[in-house]
Amino acid sequence: MALKINFVVLTRNRLEALEQCLDALSKEVDNHTSCVVIDNSDEVIREEVIECCKKYPWVTYKWVQSSPYILSQGRNIGAAMSNSDVIAFLDDDSYISEGWIKVCRESFESSETGAIGGPIDDPEVSNLDHSRECEIGAFNPKGEVIDNFDCIPPKTVVIKHMRGCNWAIRKKVFDECGGFDETLSGYCFEELDLSLNIRSKGYKIKFHPNLRVYHDLKPRIDGEKPQPFRIFEVTRNLSRIYRKYDSRLCCSYWKFFFLYRTGIVALLREPSYSNFLSFAYGIRGKFSGLMHR
């Protein structure tokens, strides 16, 4: 019996991207494959998104009202709607390659595998650090996050974290980990946190060279967040992960946000914690050894 795979695709105001994503899936799906689209689009485009999803009988549509938009929350809702052995997560502007589903199923034949990811063909923004091509989804000795997800290794390798636009996880492992941490608001590092959680349970995360997606980076019609707030979100979420997995970074009322670049990067009022100002500090290399086991 083939493993049941349910794709969870989150979308917001990117109809064209979603259409391409679902079209790519339609060429690969079978009787054991389904998809949940979690939509947070504005009303002006919502009906078009619904009509797009209706074209595909294997797609279930759900609109989620959330302001500010929390990616982790949407993914957890999609996972809760999944009645499958494996949950696969894609961005709405990520398109699976030929054979993706077959490779995914084969990758979970080993019981030690908790999650699987693969190369991300990201033509606009390369994550490849050519000086460290052998390190994919890793941490360096200073605790800095290494991606290199556009690298294609000669064989399947074990990694420490994966990027959210191209990975799959066993449903039972996802449930055991409690899903994504919804305190990580916005859209950054929620998959890093879950990766660390998966590994802390004793499962392996593997990177298969043939589990590829094309990431087209479509713009939203409502634009992107201002750069200062984006930096703030990145710093805040990463600091929470550091503090969760390294008790030396634990603090109580004031939130100190540590990023891997030197200098103060933001001083903003955090919407979800409006009772105080949050300082954002970047201290490069001060804390080492995050989750090197």
Residue 60 host element (H or E): strand 59-63
Which pLDDT band, with edges at 50, 70 and 90, does 185 fall under? confident
Which pLDDT band, with edges at 50, 70 and 90, does 126 fall under? low
Percent of the chain past pLDDT 70, that is, above it, reads 71
Rounded distance between C-alpha atoms, residue 173 and residue 49, angstroms: 31
pLDDT exceeds 80 at position 153: yes
Q: What share of the chain is helix, strand, coil (3-state, %, to 5)?
A: 30, 25, 45
CA angle 133, 138, 141 (to 5 degrees): 100
pLDDT exceeds 90 at position 129: no
pLDDT exceeds 60 at position 267: no
Lowest model confidence (mean pLDDT) among 62-71, 89-98, 124-133, 140-149: 124-133
pLDDT for position 236: 74
CA angle 44, 27, 190 (to 5 degrees): 60
Which pLDDT band, with edges at 50, 70 and 90, does 279 fall under? very low
pLDDT for position 252: 33
Asked if 179 contacts 226 with a C-beta cutoff of 8 angstroms, the reply is no
Query: Would you put residue 67 in left (φ > 0), alpha (ψ -120 to 50) or beta?
Result: beta
pLDDT exceeds 50 at position 234: yes
Model pTM score: 0.80
Tell me what the pLDDT averaged over the chain comes to: 79
**pLDDT 10s digits, 112-124:** 999 999 999 876 5
Rg (CA), the chain: 19
Is pLDDT larger for residue 254 or for residue 115? 115
pLDDT for position 227: 58
Which domains, from first to last, does the chain contain?
Answer: 5-215 (3.90.550.10), 227-282 (no CATH)
For 195-211, what is the mean pLDDT?
94
For 99-110, what is the mean pLDDT?
96
**pLDDT 10s digits, 38-95:** 999 999 999 999 999 999 999 999 999 876 667 889 999 999 999 999 999 999 999 9
Is pLDDT larger for residue 171 or for residue 143? 171
Distance, first Cα to last Cα, the chain: 35
For 146-171, what is the mean pLDDT?
90
